[in-house]
Chains A and B, each alone.
Chain A
Amino acid sequence: MEWLFRSEFDAITTVALWSIAVVVATTIVLFVYTLGLRFATLASDRRRARFIRAWRDVFASAMLSEDAARQCTLPPVGRSSRTDLLEEWNHSRSMVDGTAAENLIVLARRTGIPGLALNLLHKRRVRPRILAVQTFGHLRDSRRRDDIRSLLDHENTALSITAAVALVDIDPSYAVPIVIPMIEKRRDWPRNRISIMLRMAGSERISEPMYRAIRSANNANRTYLLQFSRLIEAEVLDALLEDLIRDSNDPGVLNAALKLVGGFGGVPRIAALTQHDAWFVRMQAAKVLGRIGQEEHLSLLESLLDDPEWWVRYRAAQAIASLPFLGPNCLRRLRERQSDRYASDILQQSFAEVGLA
């Protein structure tokens, strides 16, 4: 390094040499620092993986046996591993039901998981709060019911829907009358999570509140809510659909309701809907008549074979082909008597699809 201090260099060369020396030194320091960070991360990942593996074994043992849940040796939990523990427990708990879930709750109480969750519940950041709410739901801890209820209106979608699901998990009888009216207001709630929540609550609990919510909603909300109505009891669904198909003339509602028809209620009105102004209502009505139609509906379906909309013609032809009281010979005669070329063609195509060409 002596050459750096020689005086025979002019000022510019000296500055340049010093600059190079500083850059090289900084590079070496940064390189060593990066290596150190990398090793520290690897060591931390390995520690975390060991921690997770040890606890997964404990959770899996507890799932299978209450004795294990009550008596197994618990691996130590450092301060930095608390969130990992909560996440792993929630993962395991969401995977199982019945006795295994009860055993995991027993184990959680031994582990101090409720206390860890309580510490997170009032944090300012949303992520720890979501984890806390999810944990209380999985613990079915009714002491936190009011805290969780207050989060239903939270502006953060994830926190709000997690609170709704947790409330249902804790006490479905209490939660259902509160969360069902919120479904139409919180259009930001993900649909799959709403379905999971309603399924968790059970069809017998949600049927009446869903019926009331759909009946009292405006047309746009009715259409939205109807997509969750497959989860309600079959007889309530049939009654609801019959009411909607009878009373409503809104194409969106009729379309959504006709898609769900499975029973035989309201057939005269469904038959009348084959003449509706909206083509997709005529199409859905034709599809329904293909499933539940009687002999007197054949002429209605035939009249749709020359509909201006291709989809209506196609579904009507498919419906005719699927009517159980028409044998292959009847179907062929029906095709032959069509004077309209489009009607004949669409029947030909639909019959070919079911091997009647």
Chain B
Amino acid sequence: MVARAQQFSTHRALVVEDNEHVCYMLEFILRRAGYDVNAVPNGRDAQAAIENLEPVDVVLLDLMLPYISGYQLITEIREDPLWQHVPIVVLSGKVLEHDIVKALDLGANDYVTKPFRPEELLARLRRVVADHERLMPPS
């Protein structure tokens, strides 16, 4: 599966994750799957990335972050004129129904709980990126 993704994917991903170990692993897994990855360790740096970077193809977002929560970031991404259509996949240890509903209501495209299955995570990323490209073909 990874090899197939490697052949076709040249997408850019923004990973927002405060746990250094998890972040390293996500970067490794996504790079192996062919993504060009930018990783930031907190909400403030994520805000700066949203302000300064070109929109990426997908944001992989933790919810419990230093300075600014993942929920707040979802809201800000959905209000940003350039980033508002970027798909957001939440990867969080919060597993209660109301946390998941809140993230999806705010505008996340998908929600994966920790501990996660790497292949499933990659499949979900592929799907949201493909859906996004179908709706908004790259100019």
A residues near B (Cβ < 8 Å) are 56-57, 59-61, 63-65, 88, 91-92, 94-101, 199, 230
Contact = CB atoms under 8 A, between A and B. Distances in A.
Contact of B118 (A56, A57, A64): A64
A97 B28 contact: no
B138 interface: no
B21 A91 contact: yes
Among A60, A92, A230, the one with the most B-chain Cβ atoms within 10 Å of its Cβ is A60
Given A60-B29, A64-B2, A95-B22, A199 B95 contact: yes
Contacts, number: 50
A9 B25 CA distance: 71
Given A56-B21, A56-B28, A64-B32, A101 B115 contact: yes
Contacts of B32: 60-61, 64
Contact of A92 (B2, B25, B117): B25
A97 B117 CA distance: 5
B21 A97 contact: no
B120 A98 contact: yes
Interface string B74-98: 0000000000000000000001100
A63 B116 contact: no
Among B96, B118, B120, the one with the most A-chain Cβ atoms within 10 Å of its Cβ is B118
B119 interface: yes
Given A64-B32, A65-B2, A95-B21, 14 more contacts: A56-B21, A57-B28, A60-B28, A64-B2, A64-B29, A64-B119, A92-B21, A95-B25, A95-B116, A96-B116, A97-B116, A98-B119, A101-B115, A230-B96
A30 B49 CA distance: 46
Contact of B24 (A56, A99, A199): A56
Interface residues of B, number: 17
Contacts of B114: 95
A56 B29 CA distance: 11
Nearest to B25: A60
Contacts of A92: 21, 25
A198 to B, nearest CB: 11
Interface string B6-43: 00000000000000011011001100100000000000
Nearest to B120: A98
Contacts of A65: 2
Nearest to A88: B21
A345 B117 CA distance: 53
5 contacts: A56-B21, A60-B32, A95-B21, A95-B22, A97-B117
Contacts of A97: 115-117
B96 A59 contact: no
Interface string B96-139: 10000000000000000011111110000000000000000000
List the 9 closest A-B pairs by CB distance, nearest first: A60-B28, A98-B117, A97-B115, A91-B21, A100-B118, A60-B25, A96-B115, A63-B118, A97-B117
Nearest to B93: A196
Nearest to B98: A230
Contacts of A59: 25
Contacts of B116: 95-97
Contact of A63 (B21, B29, B95, B96): B29
B25 to A, nearest CB: 5
Contacts of A60: 24-25, 28-29, 32
A99 B1 CA distance: 13
A60 B96 CA distance: 28
A99 B29 CA distance: 14
A100 B119 CA distance: 8
Contacts of A63: 25, 29, 118
Contacts of A96: 115-118
